[in-house]
């Protein structure tokens, strides 16, 4: 374990020299900034590629040392700082592994950045539907059987792209078997582990996909570690990924003016998790148990504990999650997200000595629940996912979609038409339709059911006017 933070230390040493700025950025160490004092004071560390501060895209000094410490912490061959979020890491790993026209297997409830990467790389995706968790009310992990069926049908597939854990902290039980099966065919496994940067801490947290042998793993350090928003990690291990290609695409997909504040926070976050000790884990577990036990005493509140101890779901019987979220926010408690059944909460990864106002939070949640239960219950609550095809592919290619024009039409007119956009109800968080797939009567009915139950719909749509985006007739359907 190491507490060294090379980039943080370099920035502190640089600033102690009282340097004069005749360079970018234009705020001149914050002197010209009109931001609040609390923010402006941080701008003295918002530097650029100056002597002694290294260059993210061609690191030879403190950034290289910081990234080497990152790789050492996570036990990988190469690890990289990402300043454009996990999106840039997802883009880079997909492009580094696949070339135009390649067939790839993709978990259907992937983040939109994965689908954008597939489109930009002009790949031919095969969508694999994950298993539904009856207890978590969420789409969890992929099954080995679905993977085996897909590889029998598409033996030419070049890579498997997975999401692990899901937004709700559920990991599924077959990740190790899935990765080992892919490696039998020398197929690389790329994992969007945005919500898993903290899994390095060890039990009681689940294992990272890195521990199971995943070839490339992207983590959002800002989601569960103390890094700034947009700060993420990309890890590479094994011989199936060309590291030089990774570097090439990171230079393309990341800013040429990377934020030193974000990079410093990544250096600090790595040190935080690398020095997370057994006493820290014990402290976190004890504080968490006291909090969860106190929540369980709130009348009418149901607590569901995720696979990941950092996450939990709050439910009130006969009331949807959006209404509970609204009441919690009225009490000043802001959760990560809500769906039509529950509210998802992300706890702080405390170390010894850290305090958090859990007693006050419990009191506010109790009042929120009491307020909610005085209101009229919901007539329709939980959406159980309709039967979905386990393995599918779009009917037309990304190239054809890109060449075609789109138009907005009503729900009923959309039946039989190719969707020009992704539409994803939460729950279950699995895209109901992806670009190039056909709107069927069944999919329209599912969409109406989701809307009636109060689900949040992500994607490009105009549901307020009951319109969907479809490809105009006469497009190339190759």
Q: Residue 64's pLDDT is what?
A: 98
Q: Tell me the CA distances in angstroms from 22 to 17, 29, 32, 40, one per residue in order.
A: 15, 10, 13, 18
Average pLDDT of the residues of the chain: 93
Q: Residue 385's pLDDT is what?
A: 61
Q: What is the pTM of this model?
A: 0.93
Partnered with residue 216 across adjacent β-strands are 190, 236
With both helix axes pointing from N to C terminus, report the angle between 62-74 and 6-16 in degrees, rounded to the nearest 10. 150
The low-confidence residues of the chain, meaning pLDDT below 50, are 475-478
Q: Residue 12's pLDDT is what?
A: 96
Based on its alpha-carbon atoms, the radius of gyration of the chain, rounded to whole angstroms, reads: 24
Element (H, E) at 337: strand 337-338
Percentages (nearest 5) of helix, strand, coil residues in the chain: 40, 15, 45
CA 16, chain centre distance (Å): 37
């Amino acid at each position: 374990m190491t507490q060294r933070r090379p980039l943080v230390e370099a920035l502190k040493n640089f600033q102690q020299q009282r340097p004069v700025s005749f360079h970018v950025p234009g705020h001149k160490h914050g002197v010209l900034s009109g931001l609040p004092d609390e923010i402006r004071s941080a701008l003295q560390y918002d530097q650029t590629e100056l002597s002694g501060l290294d260059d993210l895209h061609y690191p030879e000094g403190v950034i290289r040392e910081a990234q080497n410490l990152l790789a050492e912490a996570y036990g990988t061959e190469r690890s990289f700082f990402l300043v454009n979020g996990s999106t840039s890491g997802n883009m880079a790993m997909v492009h580094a592994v696949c070339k135009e026209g390649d067939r790839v297997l993709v978990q259907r409830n992937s983040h939109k950045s994965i689908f954008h990467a597939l489109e930009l790389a002009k790949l031919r995706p095969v969508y694999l539907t994950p298993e539904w968790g009856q207890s978590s009310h969420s789409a969890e992990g992929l099954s080995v059987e679905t993977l085996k069926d897909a590889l029998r049908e598409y033996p030419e597939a070049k890579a498997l792209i997975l999401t692990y854990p899901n937004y709700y902290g559920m990991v599924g039980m077959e990740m190790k078997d899935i990765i080992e099966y892919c490696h039998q065919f020398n197929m690389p496994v790329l994992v969007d582990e945005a919500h898993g940067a903290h899994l390095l801490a060890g039990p009681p947290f689940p294992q990272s996909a890195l521990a199971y042998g995943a070839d490339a793993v992207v983590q959002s350090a800002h989601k569960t570690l103390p890094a700034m928003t947009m700060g993420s990690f990309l890890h590479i291990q094994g011989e199936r990924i060309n590291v030089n290609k990774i570097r090439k695409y990171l230079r393309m997909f990341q800013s040429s003016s990377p934020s030193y504040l974000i990079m410093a926070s990544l250096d600090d976050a790595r040190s935080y998790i690398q020095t997370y000790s057994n006493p820290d884990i014990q402290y976190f577990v004890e504080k968490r148990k006291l909090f969860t036990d106190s929540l369980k005493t709130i009348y009418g509140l149901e607590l569901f504990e995720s696979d990941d101890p950092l996450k939990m779901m709050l439910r009130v019987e006969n009331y949807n999650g959006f209404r509970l979220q609204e009441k919690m926010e009225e009490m000043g408690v802001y959760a990560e997200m809500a769906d039509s059944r529950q509210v998802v909460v992300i706890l702080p990864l405390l170390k010894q000595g850290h305090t958090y106002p859990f007693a006050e939070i419990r009191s506010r949640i109790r009042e929120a629940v009491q307020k909610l239960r005085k209101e009229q219950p919901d007539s329709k609550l939980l959406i159980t996912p309709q039967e979905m095809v386990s393995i599918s592919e779009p009917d037309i290619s990304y190239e054809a979609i890109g060449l075609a024009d789109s138009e907005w039409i009503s729900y009923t007119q959309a039946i039989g038409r190719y969707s020009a956009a992704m539409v994803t109800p939460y729950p279950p968080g699995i895209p109901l339709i992806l670009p190039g797939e056909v709107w069927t009567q069944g999919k329209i009915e599912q969409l109406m059911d989701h809307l009636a139950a109060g689900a949040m719909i992500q994607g490009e749509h105009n549901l307020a006017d009951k319109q969907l985006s479809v490809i105009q007739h006469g497009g190339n359907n190759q």
